[in-house]
Every structure is written in structure tokens, then in C-alpha cells.
Amino acid sequence: MASSSTTIIVSGHNAQWEWEGDKSIWQQYPTNIQQEISQAFDAGNKDVDVNITDEISMTIKFSDMTQVNKKTKFMRRIRLCLELKDENGFFVYEWQNENKKWESYAAEIMTKIADAINNDQTTLSVTCQSRSYDIDLKKLIQTNTSTNVIRKIHRVKSMAKLPSNTSTTSNKRSLESQEEPTQSTTKKRAVSASSGPEKSSGMKKFRNHFIRFGPFN
């Protein structure tokens, strides 16, 4: 467990805020940024602006769990991982969408799941975008109370690390990587486009399609 000077608290739970980097590698925000995000979330704010550097400012949106570069409008996914009762480490629960892809629950639902676990409850009811769901933590399913559609859920242990002092600069650069193409990257993309259809990557799909961050049916 982190020391009291660096522990991040969200709704009474030890926590860490993470963003999805290239190749779907999750990374923690610097501790001071995590504290700003936590304070805004616990205050009930829908979003918060954070300054990664003097030049890089991000808007953290809790409604769809994304970060948006205020200058380039480039978007990345974020997630909230929490320490859970009788477990070592930080975890996030995910649900499986209609395309068999796993999506992290929104921060508000994650805190409710952690509350249920702390109270030795195996079931709970949540609301997401005006839809109600029953979550069964033992059977690992969620059920839409209106349509009775059942989806799988699972728990994932976070392997994300804090940026070290020596790698802070490169970490901050990676937050905006691919957001402002250089002349060389533009040429590479032009060559790739002229050579034939490009196989879609996870990041390309994220750019071209709206990804849903909560259960919708």
C-alpha cells in the first residue's frame, strides 16, 4: 500500500487513475494529477482540466471516461482502479460488449462495486445513462433490468506504474504522441496509404468510431 503522503483516495477507497497509451498499455497519471482528478470526482464535477506540462492541458471527462487534449482534441480512454477488500493490488471491473470487447466500468460504478465488496455483498444495482442493471459479483454477470439482456463481467488487476522521475519527460510526451504528426510521420502515413488498404489497429478504431464506456443494453 502506498504511504499516506502519496495515497490517492476516491470516495473512501485507495485508488489510482490511469490512461490508455499506445498498444493498449495502461499507465498511471503522475500523483499530483491523480489527486486533482480525485478531488474533482469526489466534488461531483462532470469533468476537470489538468495541466500535464505548461504546454499540455487535458480535460478529464467522467461521463465517458476519456481524456481530451485541449489543443489537439485527441482522445484517450481512462479508468479508475481501486484497492479491494482482502486483495493485494488495484483492480478494475470490466463488462463485455456486443462485439466481445471488454470495457471498463465508469468510475461511479467502480466505487459502488468496491462498496459492495467491502460490505460482503455479492450483488448490487446500478444506473448508467438512465438504464438500470443488476450486477452479480459471484456469477460475474450484469443484467439489464428492462430487457433482461445478460453480459459477462470480469475483474482485471492493474499493472500500470507511476512515471519515474527520470522518465517523466518521455511519459508526458507519450500522452500527446500521435496527436500532432511531424513531417516524417506524415510522409510515412502517405506511403502506407498509397500501398493499399491498412489493417485497422485498436487505436485507429478508437479514432474512427465512438466507443461506449458503459453498458447500454
- 97, exposed or middle or buried, with CB in 10 Å at 0-12, 13-18, 19+? middle
List the beta bridge partners of residue 18. 28, 79
Residue 165 is predicted with a pLDDT of 61
- Is residue 197 domain-resident? no
Return the pLDDT at 168. 45
Residue with cell 443494453: 217
Q: What is the CATH number of the domain that holds 17?
A: 3.30.720.50
Q: Which residue has the cell 460490505?
A: 119
What is the reported pLDDT for 5?
52
Is the residue at 182 inside a domain?
no
- SS3 for 75? strand
Domains identified in the chain, total number: 1
Query: Residue 75 falls within a domain, yes or no?
Result: yes
Question: Does some domain include residue 207?
Answer: no
Q: Is residue 203 part of a domain?
A: no
In a domain, 95, yes or no: yes
Which residues of the chain carry a pLDDT beneath 70? 1-5, 165-217
List all residues 6 or more positions away from 73 whose beta carbon is below 8 Å from its beta carbon: none
Residue 212 maps to a domain:
no
- Quick one: cell of 102? 471488454
Query: Does some domain include residue 183?
Result: no
Question: What pLDDT was estimated at residue 6?
Answer: 81
Tell me the residue range of the domain where 67 lies. Answer: 8-173
pLDDT in tens, 106-146: 999 999 999 999 999 999 999 988 899 999 999 999 999 99
**For residue 143, what are the β-bridge partners?**
134, 150
